[in-house]
Structure 1
Amino acid sequence: MIKTLRFTLMAVMMLICGAISAQTVVTFTAGTDKSEGATLTKDGITLTLDKGTSTSGLGKLATTEYRLYKGNVLTVSSTIGDITNIEFTCTAKNTAKYGPGCFASQTGYTFEGTVGTWVGSATSVDFTAETAQVRAKTIKVTIGGAAGETKKAAKLAFSEEKVNHEVGTDFTSPTFSWETTATVKFSSDNEAVATVNAEGVIALGTEEGKAVITAESAENDVYAAGTATCTVYVWHYVTYKKATAIESGKKYLIVAQRDGNTYYAMPCKESYKYGYLSTVMKEGTLDELKVESSYDDNFVFAECEDGYSIQDCYGRYLYMDDDPNHKSFQLGTEPVAWEVEASDNGTFSITNNGQFIQFGQGTFTSFGAYATKQDNTVLPMLFKMVEGTTGINNIQTTTAVKNNVMYNIAGQRVNKDYKGLVIMNGKKMMVK
């Protein structure tokens, strides 16, 4: 009887201990777990977004990520027990916009790479997007178990996550720090641009371009696995000077000057099919611009029937469609003629389909095209690339070797459907 009672008590104690240490993990996945408003509940865990709530945050538009705009407060609360761990997997790293480091600091919260982790014991925890927007693909909430059971963060870190280096200037490697006791391994995805040794010291290679340096450590008994990256850009300046006439096949920046500043256009993003041309501002009224070679912001003007075609770095041709309400540029695969006329004041009238390019409608600092002169807009100037500062340099050759990227003879990136003479993997070839 006594023996039976003893085993019964032991069994009860084991069940109690098992219940105390048991953990429940509830994972919210953007695109799968959605709500119509600012509150989302799943398995006893509720996410509540306050201050500046947007339906693109927790609502029905959250197809790929939960968005917490700057100033938003996200409350994670539980009705099934104490929360001991909350993990955000974000779309950017550390303190970069959209990363986990954009949350306000608080006791128990740390971040590394794309992951932010809170450890403690509470039924409700608030997170404030303080320095920038935070975007999370998943939010994982752990209930029960002893608070602090999560392994320590490896805390791998380069002193700089991004290094911009101009050819010909002194280069100093960022420092590397860590806390893990596991071995840290280093690698470069482009050793022609930058290498890294076993201590995390970065050195330049022989070519221009981009290299991502990665540090990784495995999980051990005390520390979680860790990773950190440093992206190195090596470039030179490309010079553009103000032009008074058009030369066919040459590269130009589309430029505007207003209120004592100079603006030059950037091509629309590669995925866009139409859009206005956003700009980069330089202080002063300039006759010469220097642009980093890693940014291919020029446009090729080439003679065609009835005028000149305008082609961007992705091989797309700008044109205006037949809808006069459309002021942004359409982006096509075939050359379209623009009428180009130079004026005595250094500007150009550049017209297609009855609409001519203008800069700065209203308070905007972008280029569009309109049938009549708009309030506050100015006509564009053209700055021609100086010979010898070509956009086809090692950064493009290096990329092409790895990815079979093609460029036309003007140095512009083209898609796989392009026909004609191209440069790929550093060699000229004819695509038919």
Structure 2
Amino acid sequence: MGMFAQSKTAKFDFTGESAYGMTLLSGSTKEYNADPTVCTEGDVTLTLNGQTRWWKATNGNELRFYKGADMTFKVPEGNVITKVELTAKVPAKFESAVGTYANGTWTGSANSVVISTNITEKNTPISSAVVTYQSSSAPMKKDPALSFSETTASGVVGEAFVAPTLTKATTAAVVYTSSDEAVATVNAETGEVTLLAAGETKITATAAENDEYNGGSASYTLIVTTPALDVVQEPYSESFETEFGSFVLDNVNLSEGLSYVWSIDKKYKCAKASAFVNKKNLPSESWLVSPWIELSCAEVERNLYFDHAVSKYFGNVSEEATLWIKVEGGDWTQITSIAYPEVPQDKSFSPFETQAVSLAGYEGKKIKVGFKYVSTDEAAGTWEIRNFKVCSGDPSGINEINADKFDVNAPVYNLAGQRVNANAKGILIQNGKKFIK
């Protein structure tokens, strides 16, 4: 390795089922880890100071830091820390009085490094910390200085995409990778990206350590969407798992403090409308509107399906979360036959329920479907929509209609989308499935 020192690394991992003797906390507990808590990996010690919690999280456990808390990394005398990389599901909000801290990574040269929180409320979590260190008696290897010109980029399937520019100081070869190759692939040598499907992936450029430079990496988040269409033909569907697809937003009224109402909730894989911001109900009117949908002239059963869930915070949900249809050349008409899921007494949200709305009378026409959300300064509920589908034929054969595990107590609807008694006769729908009684 010539005159330069060989770097070593130590990784502190908080995602598993045990973490340095700490108690895994969750729920509404007010407990914190002992202050201080000392964690050890090889030659490196990590001391947690102030209020921290090792927390049970849905997508892997994490270590949470609260206002005023910090972490101290230390290596044996005769060694120096050159890099600390913090991994988090959300941007890690920390700072350091020594070295340089940016975007979750500390760089510098110190035997002991203190990284403190930079928050005023709530908390900032990490899932792991990787410490790079070396002997202080040998010359320092250089920083590879890998950096993309943008940390976030977006592209549309079928359209040309120009990747952010990578700059580097290292003389080592760079290898490009994509975290989700179903969304986009990347040429390992050139960094050229091919967009494949809607979703989100992380494009990473990695350089190995060599005789002169430390190893390192840089990445950007790539958000891929599908092209929006003005006109579609049945059968037509949008899942709303990762994007609005060809639906568009019409913000009729956004009061001060609101920049949007409708968003994609990637955790629950749905389109979500809410005007509750900073613990305040804000007046609004916002529509989620489909493209024009061309319906065939065939005289067959044709329905609109969607799953929806509501919160308990509406003033009057049947007036503030409504469904509308417009025929080309006509005006919007409210569909009053839809039913709303019931919110359990001890819950804030209802479960998702499938709605079936008859499109009888619309044969051969071109229609738009609109989900209208309204809020006031007294009430701002949350409305969630997923698995939108317009089709003819037997809905039980449509694999895009995602019904949960069959529930014999689930609401029953007729083909007009009206909620009926479970003992009703005729063609009925329950759990998104059609049956005859």
TM-score (normalised: structure 1) = 0.49
**Which is richer in helix?**
1
